[in-house]
Amino acid sequence: MSALFVGENKFFLPETQSTNSYAISLLKNVNLPEGTLIYTHHQTAGRGRRNHGWESEPGMNVTASYTLKPTFLEVKKIFSLYVISSLAIYDVLSHFLPDGQFDIKIKWPNDILINGKKIAGVLNENILKEHHIQHSIIGIGININQTKFPKTIKATSLKILTNKDINLESVFEVLNSRLEKHYMKLKAERKANKNHYDSEIIKRYYKNMYKLNETCLLETAKGLGSYIIRGINENGLLLVEDDKKIVHEFDLHQVVWKI
């Protein structure tokens, strides 16, 4: 099914520093329609979370930002934008991969892995006004046709996995429609004040969550420790259980995976 508004208005930039940065500066001057897509073939200074860069070979991959206006969302629930973007990427990858052959996982907070290697990442940035979300920028990088990556990163791409080149426009068609679908579902669930554990979005997130109910080594303010991953709470904090069965909540800045 094609999207109604996500990706309807779009800007293609042959080259830009970062589509997220471009979207943010554009939003300061122009009232973009919700769902605007900004994409490029070459990011010269792509950004990831925690001040990391995002490297992508020109013309090979999805490097794009969508602008949304989730005015229905409380600021404390902002993480749900990472949830729906991850689900949309999950759907795109399932669409282009043969059924059931690959283990696609959503690694909290913003990575998508296949067979333990990173294939996509999300960078969500928001413009707030008087404690409300005025604009949200969903930056998405998906490795599509690139086959060589620096040895220092464990990365993969659809081409490496399928040995086929994939037309980037066809990836955007699926991405636009799945992002719209999950965004509209989120909107409906928030408007109905749906309970976290009854949410279909959260159920799908749990179904595909990396290391759910498994023991992992994490670095927190207390140092390195083993914890069982138990999911996310209603505000997107990671829930982990220690060896005394106490459940802790960590936010994006309080924990680093050490696996």
Binding site for ligand BTN (CB under 6 A): 18-20, 43, 46-49, 52, 54, 63-65, 110-111, 121-123, 139-141
Of residues 54 and 189, the one with the C-beta less far from ligand BTN: 54
Closest approach of Cβ 63 to ligand BTN, in Å? 4
CB of 186 to ligand BTN, least distance (A): 20
Of 107 and 204, nearer to ligand BTN (C-beta) is: 107
Rank residues 41 and 196 by Cβ distance to ligand BTN and give the closer one: 41
Q: Which residue is nearest to ligand BTN (CB)?
A: 121
244 vs 253, beta carbon nearer ligand BTN: 253
User: Least Å distance between CB 236 and ligand BTN?
Assistant: 16
Residue 173 belongs to what H/E stretch? Answer: helix 168-191
A 10 A CB-CB count for 80 gives 26
Tokens in use for 171? 């990836």
Q: Compute the least distance from the CB of residue 115 to ligand BTN, in Å.
A: 17
